[in-house]
Structure 1
């Protein structure tokens, strides 16, 4: 995850939710967003 820019991480998160990927993967992305203190609007799954 450390190789992703903040913008790329946000894009990957939104894309993962849109594609309804594995919930564990989405949670991993959310954890990284929290770790970086990036706040984004919740996306309904």
Structure 2
């Protein structure tokens, strides 16, 4: 995850939610967003 830019992480998160990927993967992305203190105002899940 550390190789993803903040913007790319946000895009990957939204894409994962849109595609309804594995819940554990989406949770991993959410944890990384929280770790980086990035707030996503619209959770689609």
After TM superposition, where is structure 1 displaced by more than 6 Å over at least 4 residues in a row? none
Matched, 1:2 2:2: yes
TM-score after normalising by structure 1: 0.93
Gaps of 5+ in 2: none
TM-score after normalising by structure 2: 0.93
Q: Which residue in 1 is equivalent to 2:22?
A: 22
Gaps of 5+ in 1: none
